Amino acid sequence: MRVLVSIFEKLVPISGGGTPRVSSLIKAFVARGHEVHVASSIAVPKREAIDLLGCQDWLPLQGVSRLGRWKMPKYTVAFPSNMLRVAEHVRKLRPDLVVSHNSIAGYGALLGKKLSRQSLTVLDLTDLLFEYLEDYSKKGWLRAVMSGGRLLENKTIVDSDRIITISEAMKEILVQHGAQGARIDVVSDGVDVSVFRPVDGQELRREYARGASRVIIFHGVIDPQDDPGLLVDAARLILPKHPDTHFWLVGEGSAVPGLKREVSDHSLEDNFYFSGWVEQNEIPSYICASDVGLVVLPDVLSARGRVTLKEFEYWACMVPAILPRLPALQEVAEEGVTALFYEPGDEADLAAKIRVLLEDDELRTKLGKNGYAAVRERFEWGMLASRFVDLCEKYAGRS
């Protein structure tokens, strides 16, 4: 079958977000012998991207850095253009199946289906974009964009032929947005165990955490809507008793300048390390140089259904995770077995859970080993992508 896979993020090289998931899906479709076409932003020559993932052809789209300070204004220009380009590509290509990652790309697929009157549309939905980006909508013109974006997102959710999402919690949210539950299946996020695995991180630890008794890591895109300031608040409660603990923020994002100011205001510079952006293949060394991995999310609608990549990547490196007590994360982690949970937004509870793992070597080792086993059994990208393709083949057969 002819398949078009679309994502409005930089897919090559992998840039985080949905790109590990989508690249795994493309490889799985190709491995099944399907004719796969891709539409995405890339930062390499087109031929190189095609050879890397084994697809038939590639439609390069306009890219916007997820780390840029002015990304929201740029999105308002790039996304409409990309939607129209995808729609026209669907009209010309006439694929049997269009798999679109998240609602903006999905709307382009729906426009294309109206023109081609052939393709089956599958929305791969891992996040509610216009709930997640709420913190960017304070200016008047952005509020108008957000309002229009929500209408577009809801229409994509309602009109897509099928939806594959990441958690039962997100499935319930989508039903509340008007989707039919019978049209929704769940395939969790996961991790590439060929990239994320136990490695030697001691050189990084010697370089960036000299004299540290323990290292706490948070990695990924660091944006304000995820409430990363909670890390600084928790650190201020931990350091009086554990002054040799170091906190690593590995990644970049619009919240970083403010976090650096806050760290400086409280004279915590000796205990914090900001790495800047790190390529995916380097992240395992940072994780393995650490003792505890953190996931920080607020208790808001978009976060309740989200399953981040972070906990799987920590587990794949045998590092224990501390997670916010949110519905989707509770589906993939078990309290006291693979993770500890804290109440979202509660810096005292987060600090208390960090202290537990700082002081309990046996529990820290247990959680890391159990997380590693869970990844191997349930959350490895190869098996998850294969299940995703199974579902798509079933949908196409029914259609």
Q: Give tens-digit pLDDT for 303-337.
A: 999 999 999 999 999 999 999 999 999 999 999 99
**Owner of token pair 């896979």:** 5
**Is residue 195 in some structural domain?**
no
138 falls within a domain = yes
Query: How many whole angstroms separate alpha carbon 191 and alpha carbon 214?
Result: 25
CB within 8 A of 117, min separation 6: which ones? none
Instruction: Identify whether residues 207 and 183 lie together within a single domain.
Output: no
My answer on whether 325 and 223 are in the same domain is yes
Whether residue 182 sits in one domain with residue 52: yes
Number of domains in the chain: 2
Any domain includes 196: no
- 128: in domain: yes
Query: Is 384 found in the same domain as 370?
Result: no
**Residue 356 clears pLDDT 50, i.e. is over it:** yes
Q: What pTM was computed for the model? A: 0.92
Contact call for residues 218 and 229 (beta carbons, < 8 A): no
212 and 349 both lie in a single domain = yes
CATH code, domain with 171: 3.40.50.2000
360 and 393 part of one domain: no
387 and 315 in a single domain? The answer is no
* One domain, residues 260 and 299: yes
**124-163 burial: b if 16+ Cβ within 10 Å, else e:** bbbbbbbbbbbebbeeeebeebbeebbebbbebbebbbbb
- Give the span between the Cα atoms of 302 and 306, in whole angstroms: 7
Phi, psi of 72 (to 5 degrees): -65, -50
Domain assignment present for 172: yes
Mean pLDDT of 245-254: 95
The verdict on residue 12 lying in a domain is: yes
> Do 296 and 214 sit in the same domain of this protein?
yes
Same domain, 153 and 254: no
65 close to 90: Cβ distance less than 8 angstroms: no
Whether residues 113 and 149 fall in one domain: yes
Residue 115 lies in a domain: yes
Residue 66 confidence class, pLDDT cut points 50, 70, 90: low
Round the average pLDDT of the chain to a whole number and report it.
92
Q: Tens digits of per-residue pLDDT, 138-178?
A: 555 566 666 777 888 999 999 999 999 999 999 999 999 99
23 falls within a domain: yes
Residues 181 and 53 in one domain: yes
Owning domain of residue 313: 202-378
**8-51 pLDDT, tens per residue?**
999 999 878 899 999 999 999 999 999 999 999 999 999 999 99
